[in-house]
Amino acid sequence: MRKFHSYEEVDKDVHYYVPRHELIDRACNSLIGDTPEKSGHYITVWGPRQSGKTWVMREVVRQLQAQQPEFEVAILSLQSARPGSTDEKILQLLVTQLKIGFKRDFPIINDWEQLPTLFTSDYFDKPVILILDEFDSMGTEHINKFATEFRHIYISRQNEVSQPTGQKTYLLHSLALIGVRSVLGIENKSGSPFNIQRSLPIPNLTFEEVDSMFHWYERESGQTVHQEVIDRVFHETQGQPGLVGWLGEQLTEDQFNKETSKPIDMALFNQVYGAALYVLPNNNILNLISKARQEPYKQVVLELFKTDKKVRFRYDNPTSNFLYMNGVINWEREEEKYYAKFPSPFVQRRLFNAFADDIFPHVGQTYDPFDDLSDTVTDNTLNVTNLMRRYETYLRQNREWLLRDAPRRKTDGRIMEATYHFNLYLYLKSFLYDYKSRVHPEFPTGNGKIDIIIKHGEKMYGMEVKSFSGERGYRTALTDTATYGKQLGLSEISLVFFCEYITDENREKYQKLYHNSKTGVTVSPVFVVVGGT
């Protein structure tokens, strides 16, 4: 029986997969070209790690070899090329890979000007379609040297417009460069010499594709997978192939799925999801978190947790580009503007947990052991408004040491909003620890919106957390929170506003219950003063 798979190449004979015919056909058509008798296109193939770039392009090679015998086709890996390698080592690696890919001898070359000669009739009888995988493994200097020579080949072929593709001086009909980041020009301050390529992004799996893999598993195994589980896998991963395969592995293999006579239900999913958040290693996620922790990228990631304003996304910004290509962020369109967002709820939660632990390894004492807490919490009840008043007192009393090393914006030196989200979450976990309550953050939109769900006693409590930005934002937040409360199935929900200060008059004005007649949900606003810088 097949298995779900998350690392290295998917084997169609033993793993669940989706054919991705449209994407493969698009890549084939680009490489063959609009007028195949003249030339194909030189393209870049890119996408975040574990998005399936290599698998797609290997399928392209298979299809071209089967359907286009008039071309010689090969995919070569430059993974062994590392930043700091000498020119000689890089060129020797290319020649070695050409020998392996095309099963013939090529001469050793010593300088870059000799590279085009490898693609002449001395070594090929047919036009060549070449795919270079892991092209961005090497340093920018060598990337640009490769690009310069490939551009020379391309322009030379274009100049021989009257010659058919197989009779041109250089037989490199088309070229695909595969990488996890934009390898051509983004980091090259002097500009890219390779400006003739098309771009082929590798998108995530669609819901239908994810759904099809789990139904394929059902047919082969005979074990039912509840549709709610499939829906949740897609929601948490947004179709990122590596994460879909990874959760599929955990859900269907015997570490967790011990009774295959029973359906895979939400109880099993919650068990797997909890393990995925806290105890299961995943190299892709660990690498992603490592990248997010680095400066200057950390500042941008922390900015994404703020709730009063979205962060603009610009692909030509080196920081945005780096985070996007390493799977830390994605983008969304809103009218004619583009904004950065986290790529999936699972990734956002892993980043949230990582930064919360980094910034607050210890939250201190959340209440005096001799305090009477009955106005806030009992075994079966929870008063969120009073809990937030206690949190405000805790923050005021511990601010000096608690926020001493908190991350600050480089622009004005102020403490970043995300700091308070992390601290509030950890405070709630600590405060309610002895009551065995469950506290977890929710990220329904991927940018700015943070909710905290508390399961205490036999009841669920919802808290939407925002920064107070003014009257208009306040009104919008009330209606949005009411809608969210209805989605949760709650008749009451709390709306927590962080602010630097508030007068007693404004507390009385804004901390009034709001009942939304459309949803039937009552929103309880509460303000938490976090102070200034």
pLDDT tens digit sequence for 261-289: 999 999 999 999 999 999 999 998 999 99
Nearest to 39 by CA among 158, 147, 125, 131: 158
pLDDT at 533: 62
Pick the CATH number of 21-201 from 3.40.50.300, 3.40.50.150, 3.20.20.190, 3.30.310.160: 3.40.50.300
Q: Which helix (H) or strand (E) holds 98?
A: helix 87-102
CA dihedral 394, 396, 399, 400 (to 10 degrees): -130
The structure tokens listed for 117 are 């000669």
Nearest to 365 by CA among 412, 298, 311, 431: 431
Please, where are the H alpha helices in 222-362? Answer: 227-237, 241-252, 266-278, 283-293, 297-303, 318-325, 345-359
Please tell me whether the peptide bond between 296 and the residue prior to it is cis, using omega within 30 degrees of 0.
yes
Evaluate whether 500 touches 527 at the Cβ level (below 8 Å): no
pLDDT at 398: 95
CA–CA separation, 157 vs 166, rounded Å?
Answer: 10
CA–CA separation, 344 vs 339, rounded Å?
Answer: 15
Domain boundaries along the sequence of the chain: 21-201, 207-280, 357-529
Grouping H, G, I as helix, E, B as strand and the rest as coil, residue 44 is: strand
The structure tokens listed for 248 are 């599929």
CA–CA separation, 493 vs 63, rounded Å?
Answer: 55
Assign 3-state DSSP to the chain and report helix, strand, coil percentages, each to 5: 45, 15, 40
pLDDT at 215: 98
CA–CA separation, 120 vs 128, rounded Å?
Answer: 10
Beta strand extents in 152-258 (DSSP E only): 172-179, 198-201
Tens digits of residue pLDDT in 125-135: 999 999 999 88
pLDDT at 194: 56
State which residues of the chain have pLDDT below 50. Answer: 182, 184-191, 193
pLDDT at 186: 42
CA–CA separation, 525 vs 527, rounded Å?
Answer: 7
pLDDT at 93: 95
Q: What is the mean pLDDT of the chain?
A: 91
pLDDT at 187: 45
Evaluate whether 182 touches 44 at the Cβ level (below 8 Å): yes
CA–CA separation, 303 vs 414, rounded Å?
Answer: 12
